[in-house]
A and B are shown apart, each in its own frame.
Chain A
């Protein structure tokens, strides 16, 4: 644990990639294999379920520190992180220990879940008593299932590969599914990750690391200059589904999500469609809800994922299909180094023989302007824009850094987000780096267009007097929360305004006298019964502060309704 805590501290304070890789290599070179196995699990994003409820941790921490709830809460508000707060309030440890990470997790943490709260409290308190602050912080993160550190899976793979002198892509492939929680990290599994190249992949169902796309963020006028001739590119629609790989080997089908979760059981329709595929086939593509011969909205897919059991009704209401867009393995041969257009040709041939798998269609236009024109149909087609793949591109690993980009890039060329101008009404302090700065905001739109500035002002004054609004009166309706999109400088400015215009405090949340208008962007909009406004938006983020916009010119519920109507409507046949 001490070694891992030191590694964590090094990774946490370093921003340089090279320093992080070096720290990881040092750790892997010295740690016992069973400990390193767990370290890889946590560093690569593995999260065991929370083993002790926060409430229990809170109570023990207060008792050990000799402080009351209110004082702990004051500390928590200042720190902005629960695990760290607990680590700091505890008195210094009574003893030292050097138990390895594997023993910590296997013998101590995981078994905690089986005990009653009293026994849990007793054990946790004794564990705290043998760790220093950084060890406690780490322990609390592991107990709470909230471990996160500023290191990407790619860096971990790089460090392992460099340490073992093998190809990083091989390590990446062997690591697929490492964190899905089905198999416990062990010295053996760790040894397999770094075994020599001839050992090959780990097991039969193992997929390939997903190649991820970069956002093409260019004004239309620069696209042609950046991408050169459209003839060099394969252009497909970008579907809003679940990225997945189908692995068919040894007469068995595996479906892997991009999150490296094995999701085979959740999509029996796709298993059925993939079963006839020849052995030694791996497809990359998108799981979507497939209704009446076309893709339905993501909302429906989300509902289906939300269901624990797949009843007949669920299967009938939201049947899924697989849209294939790449072929990674055929006849047991790895095709990833072959150029995109060759893989595409092989894919077309394969799918022609297996029509239950859908093929992602290719659009062909003579110019980028023409593509841009076609892209306008994206929203009504229920897609997010285009995927651009260079005809010569090989299938890479993960998302490489911007500076490494060569022609082998996949670009997502998305349509502009939907946006509305809305009013800041509630704010909450952030966490971690943003603790004690108000960065999490709730936004509202008018229930109808204000007649003029005076009416809007009167409504704001009524809010200032905390008058409950009359039903027919002009009022602001909260509909979305967002906490990203502003620079630190902008957050500072908004933070100041929030402190100056606070009306009421509800725990950590402040209501403010409405004064700021923001342009809020989001990827999608749907009806929702869970929200008071009746509307839910996807991936909301702040695009900018609209200092130029007076309050009464902010958007309305009708604006949101109009965006809803603009979205893809599944019932309407395409003309």
Chain B
């Protein structure tokens, strides 16, 4: 790009020609040393496998896999290996909504309740004012509430019905606040308006026309796919494969599985402003709307360091947008158990990239790779991005360790629970999240929140217990039993994750059911 600027400034034919050749020469191998860099970085980051595709000028200029699909097995990742793309799904939901805008079925600023009467938020005024645009731009101001879908048996319908219990955490439209639940709601709105499931809309309107033959919207569809990456997490000091998490109930916010081959087609469709291989699938103006800033995002220190030349960041519709060395970058990351990914588009350079990896936590490698690719095509001498990201990650880990140490040091020694352990057992309820059950096993308390999230409770101090989750990568947390003035248990506080669960003193009556 620097070379191209020279062309413009030079203005003389001779200079232009020379510079043009220089551009071609330079761009023929912008990723010359790329493989070696990536392979070294995979060692440094301990990422078992990843796949990359780079698109420029509507052509795939790089597409390959690195490493293995699963640690300890020989099968290599290639460009046809299936990964979860997680939150990169959100842009599909936004594009599908845009297609419905083109169809005249909805408008971006329609009230959500006009299409989805069961949509109810905590604040009735916000319920009435919320627009489709708000669903897709993370500005509703309500609690993130990921435990409505994560590890619950709730359906998408159930999740929408439980939104009303999510309390406001910021003024309506005052702040960027990531909400998977609003994308689930958008998916339900799409299903309601079209009369078919969100999954079908994505398949029929996007996967099929773009020829994304190995893309799907549920882990059950890839159960028999042999060329599939296994997710990995570091648990108890050892990197190991972990099961795929079903995201069926969160699907419009993150359930898509895909390959870099398919994602390269999606990138070409996006960079083509809705046109793909000569056919148009969405109005260019509509697609541009999904790339337009809606909700400003505050830029933190780490983001500034890892995103050179950033001055603005915002959420668009299913995309995050920012400036990067003077160009607009349209992008999204994705992450769930054992997987991390990145898609990034730079329309001014007709450049797009996708990085899919099969490691979850302690992994920022995908963004180091993003920066290497962007800088290579911008003609910038890139810093050692892997080292930069590693440094940031280590400092974050240090901060977390310090915080953990602080919590440990604040532990009061020599205290005992107020009640005998068996008195804590029983059912605790929350309107949004349902039941938390505490039981006694082998003289130790165990907790189970919803059907899936389980852990053991070790006494910490007073009525506070340290909860060590069976999903080890969830880490641990402190939970506190609350006693009322009469010495009776009233609730269980699980701060930061859930609201306070209320103690159920009597067995719940079974309404309309057989008497016990």
- Co-complex (A, B): no
Residues of B at the A interface (CB closer than 8 Å) are none
A residues in contact (CB < 8 Å) with B: none
